């Protein structure tokens, strides 16, 4: 969604935010657009942590670590404007509470991203204007607490089977072969960054990514970088970061890993009801010719996840 304004933040591979927008429209026929689900991440942020020898401390960032920056606010605002234009034939021109539902994870930067996005998407117009000098209006952002429902936050590390597959991936010959050409480089980075080589080479702990991400954020914001950080070093760190994502979601037993990440509330919440039909049936919304908004086809005992938030809206 809105790729052009998010190229910077899309590089930030891990952090916690996903926001969801649910656009609804009541009735229609034929191939008319009836429902849109938008998933986007937060905008540009400060580093989430630093590495031992980092030249910059947390206090040098206006709001500390892991926070949405002014660049991030601007990106989200522009993304909101883009969505407004892109869906101009679908959304009302004014804010209508029955039409949209916005979800965010429980993180400052993601909540703020959703808010900045909505400032661009629904600036008040006409009768909505309450202060002519401030063309902004409050729009609710619903927070999804991660302990209740981690579905917007991946990967899920408290699934024992997933952790086992992760460990298997790291020791797999396929991954070790990929890692081979980087062994010397990792040693060099360990020397410069202050992490010991074993810590750095263990892909499950995100330390290598911390080095890459922190340097990337610092370079975006024109902070002085240490001399050892050359273009080539950054390129290699980027490659290793991509590889660490492959470890989480790809390579060894990719499909099973994906499945374990796919229905978190059932796996993690002991109180959740178990479906009596296969998930494919309850989740088959793409092929349905029925308007699934007003009449959701949910045949299992599984409840629509979002339905309790607002009457009349069901999301299988």
Contact call for residue 221 and ligand NAG (CB under 6 A) = yes
Name the residue nearer to ligand NAG (CB basis): 4 or 222: 222
Residue with tokens 């302990």: 147
C-beta closer to ligand NAG: residue 64 or 181: 64
Q: Which is nearer to ligand NAG, 70 or 148 (CB)?
A: 70
Q: What Å distances lie between residue 199 and 50, 180, 234, 275, CA to CA? A: 15, 16, 19, 41
Provide, rounded to whole angstroms, the least separation between the CB of residue 172 and ligand NAG: 40
**Integer Cα distance of 141 and 152 in angstroms:** 14
Residue 56 contacts ligand NAG per CB under 6 A: no
CB of 228 to ligand NAG, least distance (A): 21
Beta carbon of residue 218, minimum distance to ligand NAG (angstroms, whole number): 10
Q: Considering beta carbons, is residue 84 or 221 the nearer one to ligand NAG? A: 221
CA 53 to chain centre: 29
DSSP per-residue string spanning 247-289: HHHSSTTHHHHHHHHH-HHHHH-TTSPPPSS-HHHHH--SS--
Residue nearest to ligand NAG (CB): 222
Omega cis (within 30) before 266: no
- Which of 4, 173, 222, 287 forms a contact with ligand NAG (CB under 6 A)? 222
Mask for 152-191, x = binds ligand NAG (CB under 6 A): ----------------------------------------
Cα 285 to Cα 283: distance, rounded to the nearest angstrom: 6
Measured in degrees and rounded to the nearest 5, phi and psi for residue 214 equal -60, -45
Structure-block tokens of residue 297? 């086809």
Shortest Cβ 78–ligand NAG spacing (Å): 16
Nearer to ligand NAG, 27 or 222 (CB): 222
Residue found by looking up tokens 């649910």 in the block: 22
Beta carbon of residue 220, minimum distance to ligand NAG (angstroms, whole number): 6
Chain positions contacting ligand NAG, by CB under 6 A: 221-222
């Amino acid at each position: 969604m809105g790729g052009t304004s998010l190229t910077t933040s899309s590089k930030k591979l891990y952090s916690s935010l996903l926001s969801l927008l649910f656009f609804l429209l009541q009735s229609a026929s034929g191939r008319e657009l009836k429902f849109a689900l938008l998933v986007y991440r937060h905008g540009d942020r400060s580093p989430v942590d630093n590495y031992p020898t980092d030249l910059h401390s947390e206090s040098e960032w206006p709001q500390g670590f892991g926070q949405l920056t002014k660049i991030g606010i601007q990106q989200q605002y522009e993304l909101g404007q883009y969505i407004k234009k892109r869906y101009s034939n679908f959304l009302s021109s004014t804010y209508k509470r029955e039409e949209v539902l916005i979800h965010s994870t429980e993180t400052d930067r993601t909540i703020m991203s959703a808010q900045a996005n909505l400032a661009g998407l629904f600036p008040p117009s006409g009768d909505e204007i309450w202060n002519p000098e401030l063309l902004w209006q409050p729009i609710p952002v619903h927070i999804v607490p991660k302990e209740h429902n981690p579905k917007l936050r991946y990967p899920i590390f408290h699934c024992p089977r997933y952790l086992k597959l992760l460990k298997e991936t790291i020791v797999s010959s396929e991954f070790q072969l990929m890692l081979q050409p980087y062994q010397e480089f990792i040693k060099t980075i360990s020397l410069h960054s202050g992490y010991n080589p074993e810590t750095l080479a263990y892909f499950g702990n995100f330390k290598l990514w911390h080095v890459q991400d922190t340097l990337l954020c610092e370079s975006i914001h024109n902070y002085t970088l240490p001399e050892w950080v050359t273009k080539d070093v950054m390129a290699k760190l980027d490659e290793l970061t991509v590889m660490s994502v492959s470890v989480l979601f790809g390579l060894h037993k990719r499909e099973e890993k994906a499945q374990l990440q796919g229905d978190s509330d059932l796996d993690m919440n002991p109180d959740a009801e178990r479906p009596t039909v296969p998930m494919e049936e309850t989740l088959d919304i793409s092929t349905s010719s029925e308007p699934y908004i007003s009449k959701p086809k949910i045949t299992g005992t599984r409840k629509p996840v979002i339905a309790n938030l607002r009457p009349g809206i069901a999301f299988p």
